[in-house]
Structure 1
Amino acid sequence: MTPIDHDAAVEALYARVSRRLLPFLFLCYVAAYLDRVNVGFAKLQMQADLALSDTVYGIGAGMFFIGYFLFEVPSNLLMQKVGARRWIARIMLTWGAVSVATMFATGPLSFYALRFLLGVAEAGFFPGVVLYLTYWYPAHRRARIVALFMSGVAIAGVVGGPLSGAIMTAFAGTAGLHGWQWLFVLEGIPSVVLGIWTLFYLDDGIRSARWLRENEKILLEQAIAEDEGTRAHLPLARLFASGTVWLLALVYFLFVMGLYGVSFWLPQLLKNSGVQSVFDIGLLTAVPYGVAAVVMVLAARHSDRSGERRWHTALAGVAGALGLLAATLYAHDTVLALAALSLATAGILTTFPIFWSLPTALLGGTAAAAGIALINSLGNLAGFASPYLVGAIRDATGSTAAGMLVLSASLVLGAILVLAMGRRAV
């Protein structure tokens, strides 16, 4: 076989792997992210029904990430022992059940408890899938693959906005339940179904994939083995003492601040601009996420082809910050606010797939399982800090503008730290 024929065969094989894995994992992530952030839509009705202040809502929305933080690293280590298929299925079944159970929230304490349990249930899903992708793809292919997987966040916004608005409008009062209760029920059930499907569809890795021929398994395993030689296999004690790991966690925290500022407050920001119908708000939230879905995949593909990571990540973070700043300036003009929020959402979401090409290229083995989970769990504490901070500022000032300024500063600082890492480290 000539080099050209071999390269073509490898590309065809990876295309086949992607067709097998990515649509399913993408669908799972859409369900996961929708169950995580649909509380932003539920807020439009449940806040009045349960007499929740903006601060209480912010704490409850962020309480998810406390449970997530506490169980993230153990979950990823367990996935290595139990196997990806069974562990990812377990995660999805439990988070779907807890998401449905959120319909029973009756006040601040039950709201806090259910959000905390949802975080415990979902802990390990995202870093587990990122780790799982390292079993199949070498580093130079990974940013685009992670972008395709993470575009589930954007598609969850595209689909979830109109869907959530429609459910809350159409089902309000049915069987004596509020629209926001039906929202949690109907958007939680798909996660349970996908969890059962995972047990029959997913493979633990290349060797257990019955849909691959032996020569194809060997080819894929060789690519992963070559990639493993460039990655650090640190013992856990050294991993927790690694300055690079902690710096990556800090950068991720700063970017996640922006992500959940948008995710949990986008419906409210659109309402503030003059849109009052819940259904119309749902439709309009699809626009920023639709723009982001396209931009993040194109940017990640360009990053893979050029091999450059720092500037791609940093410029996306700065674009997100500029979008949030513009959204505060044009807060009462729906068209301009929507355009600004589209820039913000596209910039913020684009940082993540390119960012995740860094730790997955640097860490291998148990260090990868624990390191990815550690970075993700520490970074996702911003998921608690961000909605709480914006909610507290809104209660104190009557406006979300100051909160958006804080999130913009966070994104800029994250961009600066990525550039400060230096080309050699990245």
Structure 2
Amino acid sequence: MSVAAATVQATGDGTEVERATISAISRRIIPFLVLAYFLAYLDRVNLGFAALTMNAELKFSPIVFSWGAGIFFIGYFIFEVPSNIILHKVGASRWIARIMVTWGVISALMATVGGTSSFYVLRFLLGVAEAGFFPGIILYLTYWYPAEYRARILAAFAIAVPVSTVIGAPISGYMLGLDGVAGLRGWQWLFILEGVPSIVLGIVTWFFLTDRPAAATWLSAPQKAWLAGRLAREEAARAAAHPMSLGQAMSSPKVLVLSLVYFGFVGALYGMQFWLPQIVKAFGLSNVETGFVTAIPYLFGSIAMVLWGRHSDRTRERVWHVALPLFLTAIALAASSTLGNPTATMVALTVAAIGVFCTFALFWTLPTAFLSGTAAAGAIALINSIGNLAGFGGPYLIGWVKESTGSTETGLLVLAILPLVAGILVVLLRHDTRIEFSAAGEKAR
């Protein structure tokens, strides 16, 4: 079954035009966006595999590597909000195409790193180039999907993250074996070969992606009318319940709390993502074996996030569908730091990955339920940018602990605090599903 078909399955008792519209949209844009995010995430985190040989060759300490991994998110933070507002104004096709081409070029240029300075500069520029992509897609999906479909749609889109590791980890391990081909090191080939596809797909994006439903020649007139009516009713309900200007949204306490929740989630995600290959490598495996073993937690995580997203849409419950996976992540990370045995450690990290990706599938249903228009563009970008600062803090925290104690496992124990606090904040924040599902014509639970 395709991603699009799996996404549309079990959509309830909607009319025939509703089912046909959602099906047509999902077949058209979801596989394409999954591929784009797959490449984005691969270019963002392939550093973890390059480090298996690059760190020793360039004499990077754990702290240097952590700074390089994390400084990406500083550039990302600075340019995130303006990038998303530009996308809202000029259209997704042009702006996402620009983002993809520039990040692909810079990712490939990572092959030229020769020392600490060039490492830091290129990682920072990669963050600048990619800023706005993920929150731009989250915003873009609100142009196409009513609220009752968003959890499963977000899960279908976000599946690119674990899949990028399931597929990319073994491939990256093999690419490190190209050492010496054409005079380049294996880690240099990894950056080049994983950067070029983003450039190509970015060019295709300019011509393929449809900015708004009104311009979709591949939807019929009745389908456009149904979608426009449903989305208009939802936006009117949000605007009536939470009337916000851009400035009000950016300073909203609820938006700021959601930023902290996302910070806790992202810290756990990237702490694992950047250091897992080195944790697995320490089990005594080859680079190729490390790639395959690293993929295991993400395989289970990808399956769990799709099922969890469907369950949330079916039950129309959000808070515990976000909070429980965060608590699960915290417990599993803490456990993984104390086990010692490689098999038991991998089981714990697999459970942690399941929690992380189930959170990923559901988190964005919370802000998109009460934000609309330019306020949504700015606030979604703000949440993502503040949250992604943890992409600096998480990897750096583990690197600092490892350099201080010689143990990566202790870093995982400290890291577990972030999703624990995030889960508590979600429970305290609560969420009103009556507004989120008001236009569906059914009672929210």
The answer, yes or no, to whether TM exceeds 0.5 is yes
Q: Distance in 2 between matches of 1:6 and 1:114?
A: 49
Q: Cα 1:5–1:386, aligned 2, differ >3 Å: closer, same or farther?
A: closer
Match for 1:209: what amino acid?
A
1:188 and 2:180 aligned: no
1:27 and 2:39 aligned: no
1:124 and 2:132 aligned: yes
Q: What is the aligned partner in structure 1 of residue 209 from structure 2?
A: 202
Q: What is the aligned partner in structure 2 of residue 216 from structure 1?
A: 223
Match for 1:255: what amino acid?
F
Match for 2:294: what amino acid?
T
Tell me the alpha carbon deviations over residues 14-58 of structure 1, each in whole angstroms, 9 at most, x when there is no partner: 012101110000000000000000000000100011110000100
Uncovered stretches (5+) of structure 1, i.e. residues with no partner: none
SS of 1:207's equivalent in the other structure is helix
Tell me the alpha carbon deviations over residues 193-252 of structure 1, each in whole angstroms, 9 at most, x when there is no partner: 110110121000101111112221111111111110222452222122210000000010
1:421 and 2:415 aligned: no
SS of 1:230's equivalent in the other structure is helix
Residue of structure 2 aligned with 1:246, choices 256, 259, 279: 256
Residue of structure 1 aligned with 2:323, choices 309, 314, 325: 314
Q: Distance in 2 between matches of 1:380 and 1:6?
A: 37
Residue of structure 2 aligned with 1:72, choices 60, 80, 83: 80
Q: What is the aligned partner in structure 1 of residue 417 from structure 2?
A: 409
Tell me the alpha carbon deviations over residues 311-368 of structure 1, each in whole angstroms, 9 at most, x when there is no partner: 111110111112212221223x222222111111110111122110010111000000
Tell me the alpha carbon deviations over residues 72-130 of structure 1, each in whole angstroms, 9 at most, x when there is no partner: 00000000111110000000000000000000111111100000000000000000000
Q: Cα 1:5–1:345, aligned 2, differ >3 Å: closer, same or farther?
A: closer
Q: Distance in 2 between matches of 1:79 and 1:218?
A: 24
Match for 2:271: what amino acid?
G
Aligned partners of 1:98 and 1:118 also within 8 Å: yes
SS of 2:355's equivalent in the other structure is helix
Q: Distance in 2 between matches of 1:172 and 1:330?
A: 35
Q: What is the aligned partner in structure 1 of residue 123 from structure 2?
A: 115
Uncovered stretches (5+) of structure 2, i.e. residues with no partner: 1-11, 437-445
Aligned partners of 2:21 and 2:219 also within 8 Å: no
Q: Distance in 1 between matches of 2:88 and 2:364?
A: 19
Q: What is the aligned partner in structure 2 of residue 293 from structure 1?
A: 302
Q: Distance in 2 between matches of 1:21 and 1:249?
A: 27
Residue of structure 1 aligned with 2:377, choices 345, 369, 376: 369
Q: What is the aligned partner in structure 2 of residue 349 from structure 1?
A: 357
1:138-217 alignment, distance < 5 Å: 138-169=146-177, 171-217=178-224
Residue of structure 1 aligned with 2:61, choices 53, 56, 61: 53
Aligned partners of 2:17 and 2:222 also within 8 Å: no
Under a length normalisation based on structure 2, what TM-score does the superposition of the two structures give? 0.92
Aligned partners of 2:308 and 2:321 also within 8 Å: yes
Q: Distance in 1 between matches of 2:286 and 2:326?
A: 31
Q: What is the aligned partner in structure 1 of residue 399 from structure 2?
A: 391
Aligned partners of 2:69 and 2:395 also within 8 Å: yes
Match for 1:191: what amino acid?
S
Tell me the matched-pair count.
420
Aligned partners of 1:300 and 1:353 also within 8 Å: yes
Aligned partners of 2:69 and 2:274 also within 8 Å: yes
Aligned partners of 2:262 and 2:387 also within 8 Å: yes
Q: Distance in 2 between matches of 1:237 and 1:86?
A: 26
Q: Distance in 1 between matches of 2:243 and 2:102?
A: 32
Q: 1:382 offset after TM fit, Å?
A: 0.3
